[in-house]
Amino acid sequence: MAESITITDNRTGETVELPIVNGGVAATEWSKVLPGVWFYDPGFMSTAACESAVTYLDGDAGILRYRGYPIEQLAEQSTYLEVAYLLLHGELPSEPEFVAWRQEITMHTFIHENVRKRFLDGFHYDAHPMGMLVSAVAALSTFYLDAKQIFDPTSRAKQITRLIAKMPTLAAAAHRFSVGMPFVYPDNSLDFPANFLSMMWKVAEPHFEPDPVLTRALDILFILHADHEQNCSTTAMRVVGSSHADPYSACAAACAALYGPRHGGANEAVIRMLTEIGDIENVPAFIEGVKAGNGRLQGFGHRVYKSYDPRAKIIKRTADEVFEVTGKNPLLDIALRLEEIALSDEYFVSRKLYPNVDFYSGLIYQAMGFPLDMFPVLFAIPRTAGWLAHWQEMLDQDSKIARPRQLYIGPETRDYVPITAR
């Protein structure tokens, strides 16, 4: 059987055979035959914008792999820093490579004093930490002017290291500012997730040693959120990066995309929803309301997953471990009941709506003491590795600037009428 499709232009009778390569058909071939006839695809529902070797995702089968490694194995056995290396370099590091990588990241955790004192301290007292993060990441481009050298391998590697290393520092600084607590400098004796927790929670103790179970849980959440192929924020990174903007500017755009409730804001919406439901007895009525069109079941449904999100399964297990330390989040019972009812309800089953990664992650973050405002920030920290892996891959592919076409539906040409005659 030929791996191709044949298209006939019924206006001319002309036919053309297009090969199917890696599950797709090259739109440029189509355009050669039918110039000026565009694919109409709002939200890119049926469009592959690139070829990528970073992450494999099969939404129907519930499969997620980074560089070929199943997410379950990485969550079980790896660390976020190792996964970041894997995403960026395509292979797991050898021991010396990992030691060097960890050292490199650790040496770049500090931020320039002016970023904190002049820039972050200038925000309004109740600034949302994600708004602060978006702006702070963009501001880094003004501190590292060499970042514009995106085709210089040394400069590129340096900016990648800086972004991954400084993201937790900026994130914690945004939190400390929003609660009126003094900034905590990085503690380079701690590993990546523990250092972040120290910068978040340290008060007056000379050395903050976070609970190892919570540290590992956070690292697992970082692994699960490190990449998810061409999602909204990664697409933002690629689109801005395709103009050859510096990586801080592109990363700020990706952070901004992650800020929205349809993307990185979903776990916050889950907590608000569970709090609003208030009691397990109110779950059936809430579900009926959703089915009647009164809002959505937050943390359910996904553009790509049409079965149980594999990350949600891992997170559910992690939640149990965290609750052993923190005590059970009182909203958990409501969440479990919601899931139980939804998974047996025709409305959700027929639409293939299953819990996504955000259904349980918010419960963990809340039990660990993170305020709701910090949830998208917690997502941005690890996703930075994924954004950068895709950005780098795109630059190496010598890609075109992102510039889609449109189907114009506005008025025909008409003559200007002076304001006095309108």
Residues that bind ligand ACO (CB under 6 A): 262-263, 266, 290, 296-303, 351, 353, 356-358
On the CB side of 283, how many CA atoms lie within 13 Å of its CA?
Answer: 17
| Closer by beta carbon to ligand ACO, 248 or else 286 | 286
Give burial (CB, 10 Å; 0-12/13-18/19+) of 413.
exposed
Residue with smaller CB distance to ligand ACO, 169 or 384:
384
Query: What is the C-alpha separation between 144 and 217, in angstroms, rounded?
Result: 33
Nearer to ligand ACO, 202 or 316 (CB): 316
Residue whose CB is less far from ligand ACO, 208 or 286: 286
Sequence-separated (6 or more) residues with CB below 8 Å from residue 256 = 134, 236
- The DSSP H or E segment spanning 133 is helix 129-143
Q: How far is the CB of 303 from ligand ACO (least distance, A)?
A: 4
Minimum CB separation of residue 26 from ligand ACO in Å reads 25
> Cβ(228)–Cβ(64) under 8 Å?
yes
Annotated catalytic residue: which of 219, 358, 373, 390?
358
What's the closest the beta carbon of residue 301 comes to ligand ACO, in angstroms? 2
Which positions ≥6 away from 33 have C-beta within 8 Å?
7, 9, 14, 16
Report in angstroms how near the CB of residue 358 gets to ligand ACO at its nearest: 5
Choose, from 89, 211, 263, 333, the residue flagged as catalytic: 263
CB of 194 to ligand ACO, least distance (A): 25
Listing DSSP states for 14-61 in one string gives EEEEEEEETTEE-HHHHHHHSTT-----GGGTT------SSEEEETTT
CB of 3 to ligand ACO, least distance (A): 28
Q: Which runs of consecutive H residues, i.e. helices, occur in 181-246?
A: 192-201, 212-225, 232-241
Tell me the Ramachandran region of residue 395: left when phi exceeds 0, alpha when psi lies from -120 to 50, beta otherwise. Answer: alpha
302 is catalytic: yes
**Tokens at 115, concatenated:** 């970023």
Written as six digits, the tokens of 375 are 């949830």
Question: Residue 40 Cβ, how far from ligand ACO at the closest point, in Å?
Answer: 16
Q: Which of the residues 302, 309, 373, 390 is marked catalytic?
A: 302
263 an active-site residue? yes
State which residue, 302 or 316, has the beta carbon closest to ligand ACO: 302
List the strands of the sheet with 14-21, edge to edge.
Answer: 4-9, 14-21, 24-25
Q: Which is nearer to ligand ACO, 300 or 387 (CB)?
A: 300
Comparing CB distances to ligand ACO, the nearer of 147 and 297 is 297
User: What whole-number distance in Å separates Cα of residue 355 and Cα of residue 339?
Assistant: 7
For this structure, is 358 an active site residue? yes
Pairing of strands 55-58, 24-25: unpaired
Instruction: List active site positions.
Output: 263, 302, 358
